Amino acid sequence: MKTVLSGIQPSGQLTLGNYIGAMKNFVKLQEDHQCYFMVVDLHAITVPQEPAQLREQSEAVAALFIAAGINPEKSNVFLQSHVPQHAELGWLMTTLTNMGELERMTQFKDKAAGKDSVGAGLFVYPSLMAADILLYNADLVPVGDDQKQHLELTRDLAGRFNHRYGDYFTVPEPYIPEVGARIMSLDDVSKKMSKSNPNAGSFIALLDEPKVIRKKISRATTDSGSEVRYDPANKPEISNLMGIYSQCSGLSLQEVQDRYEGQMYGTFKKELAETVVAMLEPIQQRYRDIRESGEIGRILAQSAERAQEAAEVTLSAVKERMGFLPRL
């Protein structure tokens, strides 16, 4: 059975982009793969986090994983910081990474742009991400389009390690959905929908109330035309909304286009809002049930224990190959 690993940062409220680009695939993949789904809290602190909020968001992301359909009996759902082997292998991978490789990362450039001071953690985080994946010898990594470059680095580091120290790591493959790999902001289609965007109107949070969702979609930017046509090059805003419609309804893009032929943007947006609300409603209900049950801590601890066992096997083998003297 192939191994799948992916993670989401508890750096804000999860968005529809995180769901469509990542979590929806996690749920499908768990049927016939050995899965590790992490709340990557060590990644979240690469930008400043308020401690109480980080704790709350970490539990919220874990609960949303389960509410979205990840079954903790089948898949490992855990916090990255609960398995200390991540940080240790992260350091080892950092020492195998070249500065130039990190300097080329577009996500770093985007997140660092315009800031007076940028933490070194933000710069080296792709090496930690590589460690996360290699620790479990993952074959497949379901991610949105934006993570493709980081995964390429992981593949390079796995190859470099195998070349220097003898074959050990599986070189992982990205698993990127064909549609929905990049859901864009509602207010600026040149940017991806992002949970840390300070403008809450730019994203739909998975826990937004129906009236908030309706308002955000009605205010989403569109071009001055009126034709509901999928044409990302010339009509990027409406195409982005059609992509969301398609992902939330299960209809193909062509079916969405046919359904709204001759109709105005206003009608399309109203029905899009209802489609999103209907898709999120059961997830939100399950989320509330899980939080109220108080079971999250136990689920996370059980998964972390299983994950740690697997992680320690890899870390010991890696350290031995790199020449660390074992502790007696």
Is there a binding annotation on residue 10?
yes
Residue 99 C-beta: closest distance to ligand AQP, Å = 22
Tokens 């205010």 map to which residue? 219
The contact mask relative to ligand AQP for 178-217 (x = CB under 6 A, - = no) is ---xxx--------xxxxx---------------------
- Closest CB to ligand AQP among 146 and 295? 146
Q: Is 174 in the site for ligand AQP (CB under 6 A)?
A: no
215 is catalytic: no
Q: Is 130 in the site for ligand AQP (CB under 6 A)?
A: no
235 is catalytic: no
- Closest CB to ligand AQP among 128 and 157? 128
Is there a binding annotation on residue 21?
no
**Marked catalytic residue, from 2, 74, 111, 191:** 111
Q: Is 240 in the site for ligand AQP (CB under 6 A)?
A: no
- Closest CB to ligand AQP among 18 and 34? 18
Please count the residues of the chain. Answer: 328
Is there a binding annotation on residue 258?
no
- Closest CB to ligand AQP among 42 and 318? 42
Residue 267 C-beta: closest distance to ligand AQP, Å = 25
Positions marked catalytic? 111, 192, 195
Residue ranges at the known binding site for L-tryptophan? 132
Residue set of the binding site: 9-11, 17-18, 132, 144-146, 183, 192-196
Binding residues for ligand AQP (CB under 6 A): 8-9, 11-12, 15, 17-18, 20-22, 143-144, 146-147, 181-183, 192-196
